[in-house]
Structure 1
Amino acid sequence: MSRTLTRFARMAAGALLCATALPALTAASATAAPDDPAYQVLVFSKTAGFRHDSIDEGITAINQLGAANNFTVTATEDANAFTSGNLAQYEAVVFLSTTGDVLNGAQQTAFEGYINNGGGYVGVHAAADTEYDWPWYNGLAGALFHSHPNIQSAQVRVEDRAHDATAHLGTTWQRTDEWYNYRTNPRSTAHVLASLNESSYTGGNMSGDHPIAWCKDYQGGRAFYTGGGHTAESYSEAAFTRHLLGGIRWAARVTEADCRPETGYRSLFDGSATTGWSQAGPGSFSLSNGTLTTQGGMGMLWYQAQQFTSYSLKLDWRLDGDDNSGVFIGFPPSSDPWSAVNNGYEIQIDATDAADRTTGSVYGFKSADIAARDAALNPPGEWNTYELLVEGERLRIYLNGRLINDFTNTDPVRSLQQGHIGLQNHGTGDTASFRNIRIKELGGGPGPNPVTGRITGLDGKCVDVSGSNTADGTRIQLWTCNGTGAQNWTLPGDGTIRALGKCATATGTGDGSAIQLFTCDGGTDQRWTPQANGALLNPVSNKCADADGVSSADGTRLHLWSCHGGANQRWVLPS
């Protein structure tokens, strides 16, 4: 079966599936995957250097995975299998602890052609100790072996819990293996699925950033690598064999994932707490195993702590069956979930509905490219990854790394240029789960250029830094306007308000919390959102900058107070 036909056949079968939350791993459940169409895998284990005594156990385990998951395994150490005609029958080729120079020039050319034609590569452990003089293979594998300490237990940090190779794992994974150091760090060219905590064992030499499993699209094909698998015991370890199965399934194109390199994102939800988030409406979300899952009636969990202008938002989601949910963006702060519906945009998540109301659509405004969406979509029961890329009034939607929708807002009532983000709880009976919500603020967004000048408030008095003092904790107050640097404020467009090289900062979230000058650190306590009525909202507290006591006397301090629209909460900003 061709790689393209494999994908569409799987989608047809997968659409009928429904899954529940993952149970605790057992030897039986660890190898279970959704029903896949039949395909073939070549396992290649030739060694021209050190030979691992775990190769036989590895072949046995992959054969067992194939028998349980509908793929046929051909195991060989004969490099003559690497001809264009022979390789064409395989959806993936596993390099199982190969070492040294294992292919001649003609065989290398055939394998390059196989990958260029959409083939899949799975490198296991010493596959990184292979073909040092073949630059193309170095790029395929992602990184090559440098050294290793003794076999020992180490903590694996699971960075991606949506990919089929790691979705079954927790945020950390304690296991014993021989932990390779690599000559280069693959993070800039591959998507890192898991890395090692170098403080949890001895002998790591990658300066604290130590990828150990990754995936990448490579010259038309797919490449997955895992550094595990040195020990024979690995291949009877349920979590590891499920990890290996996920790599094979992705390389063979029977499951999808976003394997683009990813750097520069910060977490909005890392699986441990919902700090900065607020529930609107009667529904709610449970938190278990690092996963938010909808429950109860209609509502929305929204990130109250900050509004965003120009950004890339990534998050992982899963439906259990024919369920309904969505991601809202570009809406103003409100405890009413209908405010997001009426003022923002919903990026739909729905297994079945009309074209403009199903997964990948901007709900009610623009359908996704359905063919592209179907090619990228994992069915209910499996995880998917959205990237929502907002630049000005343009929104691009990526599903598992593929562009499926390109939308530009032309509605004068709505705007993508500033707003909150939220996760929809559609209603009782609709179950959706979310993980690993992260954002990269792009800067240089579509809003106005940085502006500098005075900020005036009640009776035309100026916002002032007491005594022109730059020490952290200096009082911010009202004072007669005098043109000094203590009254010269810059709004750089990132939500901060700055004077004398430091940021206006809320010292708490309750009524009466002082607003003082502090070193800029990117925290949500330093974010301010101008409102249409002239107020300055601090989103993390949902309170407004306020002149204490409705006074305009020199020295009146600024603090937070519940927003009420009064004259002592209205400010004129530089323009």
Structure 2
Amino acid sequence: MKVFFTILLLGITFTIFISKSLFNNSFDSKDLTISKQKEMKIDTPDQDRFVKVSLIQGQFTEPTEMAVLPNLDILVAQRRGELMLFKNQTKKLSQVAKLDVYYKTGLSDVNAEEGLLGLTIDPQYASNQYVYLFYSPVGKSVNRLSRFKMINDMLSVSSEKVVLEFYSQREICCHTGGSLAFGPDGLLYISTGDNSTPFNVPKQQYVNRGYAPLDNRPGLQQYDARRSAGNTNDLRGKVLRIRVNEDGTYAIPEGNLFPEGEPNTRPEIFVMGNRNPYRISVDQKTGFLYWGEVGPDANSDDELRGPKGYDEVNQARTAGNFGWPYFIGNNYPYKAYDFTNGTNGSAFDPNGAINNSPNNTGMSTVPAAQPAFIWYSYGESKEFPQVGSGGRTAMAGPVLYNKPGASPYPAYYDGKLIIYEWVRGWIKAVTMKPNGDYVGMEPIMPNLSFSAPIDMELGPDGKIYILEYGKGWFTKNPDAGIARVDYLTGNRPPSISSLNIEKPSGLLPYKLIANVNAKDADGGPLTYIWNLGNGIKKITAIPKLQYTFTKAGEYPISVQVLDKEKASAKSEVIRVFAGNEHPKVDILLAGNKSFYFPGKPVSYQVLIADKNSVVNKERIYVSSSYTEGTDLAGAQLGHQQAAQSLVGKSLMMKSDCSTCHKISTASIGPAFNKISTKYQQDPQAVDYLASKVIKGGGGVWGEVPMPAHAAMKESEVKQIVEWVMSLSAKKTNKASLPTVGKITPPETINREKPVLTIKATYTDLGAKGLKPLTTTNTYNLKNNIITSADIKDFNGFNRDDNGRLNMNENSAFLKLALIDLTDIVSFKILFSSKIANENYNIEIRIDEKNGKLIGKSSSGKINIPVESVNDGKFHNVFIVFKVIKEEVKNDLFLRTITLDSK
């Protein structure tokens, strides 16, 4: 948890006999990949048949955990103390209790995570009506587990039986855990966070920087997780396991980590070594415990401190120690660290780490550490590539099992663990061997979208219920709610891939032309109900609408698509502007329009057209930068003009940015418009903020760090930042570059950032009742060196594991798609050895493989002159290789193709 938590057809249905015979075969843990399943004809179920049924939305304030009752009513705990009841028959929500909880600190800019955190019902709820709540009572620095009784759909507060409580330090942040779950044997599991501060001690030279908090200096107990998670005699940073007696007391079951009476231990501990086990589940057949572990924030490994941050999904078949704060991920060890002088000690020993902290009240040597079941950092994971990259908040859902005669999901998912991500938004199905060993993971219900799923439970109907916290922290979110996941075996609702507006703005009368890309998976006709805002609705039988607005305003455009059975899907909302039109921004270049050349000036001119008013030159912003680009197509060479409000915002919504930031209201991160205002007068703001998004960081807006996004493209991050900057752009600074000028690339090209991007932005003055509109145009030029990795279209070559191209036929060609040849005078082709050039004749042709010949090599020549092609068109260029000698040198590889200009 990084602050608060830093905070599911048809297809082949298999019999149980077939499933068991597959899993009883002997194979290595990595053998049964998805491709292996396909080879064995185990088809993945049709994901279009998963549908999200929204039960209620927009009425929750910080929901934390839920319990589905036997009659399918749903209890929901809210962090601020309210217990809510959703009635399945009436679809109404009511408050059934309000506990007096500590949920807000008395310190400015410090958020509390405590409050009403956990909720579950007794396995015998139908007869005893017992509800268990885990909460932080006001007036006493403890976290408490209590049992209550429901009477006539109200929680009897007076029936409270305090089962267990333990000390928890307050007025600090972070990590509460708080999840509750019963196992198949009636034992109750309670997760608890390490109650430690991951942030830096103010005004100190040696600070934590997102690694394991091991600071044991006097008065800084909250910065030392060895006092809690790493302490065998403390209930924090654990998963506890108890048996609740009928009178509300509890007993210690056999098999916990420490037996009753062992000195310096607590017998309630089932699992220790947890940072923030925020959401747990128990396999109702095997009894295995699963939990998502929200990990620390360090972006990279450190020689002095140890490993970078990882989130984990863990599995405990028996009691054990899972490492924190001594280890993380695959038992990657931290090092002892002296915060008084910045020196380190040895790495902790996974066979038994030493706890010599003065804050430790437990054993001096903790039990051997177990590695994580699944682990991943901010960046892409080699071990588990399916998890993606970005922010991290791991959650564990249920293990699915089919019920005889009442199976809501395909048998394919029988025995699979469902895991999910609060920040990244994905849901995965994890395949395991019968003994629980990890085999692989795959997306499940990837076409469904959930707003920060914070709890996932199986109802008594065997269906998955998902509690959505909503995309915003510490607030009432309009997208918070409860959804159920159904799997349709009959009619399926239509799906919408995109809504396209031909022109998102225009002067009056403004003619809207909208197209929606939708399909009916069952092949039936569709009806389109268009919502144009202000109560205007239009119905069409085709996926296209034309409508003329005669009144100025900003209109939200969306469409609902219905099939013949009235099943429906809704599109995104796109706002259009009638009465003002996005300005036109154009960049004109002299010379080559695909490439730039070292040390040779690029001449450009920026032209602005504004139909609504006279162009204000002070509102023009022109810049240039060098960015990454992996290939000719990936660099998006040439013009990329679009309304900035559509491009940057769209990219932002596809990322995890919206989880932590809102446009105008505070969340865990600052509002976008505040960021825009803060940096509005900084000409380097876009570069600075883009770098911060990619690398991560903290300290500007508070202690909460922003995760690194190393896998995001720099060019896309900059588009997001430019959209952010446009939110408060009333007037830009004087252009960092003139509207007419020259840009001279350096003599030495940076191979890591080969694309020169010239960018021009203009924000108009707006119109009466309408906000200003911004348009950005970028022009991308690649450097003149083309590598093997840049070339995607070829024949007669093969590509090795390192991405290199090796000719393996007597005749072969490479294709450079749609490039400008203006001013190009030669192609210099280099192989890994000069001998390679003596083996081939090389021809350079345009438009077709046998098209016009513009250049030809002599034997052994690597620099091939080409005739002038200055027609201003973009041509496909074919570089054709023909063998001179009989044998082909298979150990010789193409290195680069360099284009030279006059």
- TM exceeding 0.5: no
State the TM-score, normalized to the length of structure 1.
0.30
Relative to its length, the structure with more strand (as a share) is: 2
State the TM-score, normalized to the length of structure 2.
0.22
Greater length-normalized contact order (CA 8 Å, ≥ 6 residues apart): 1
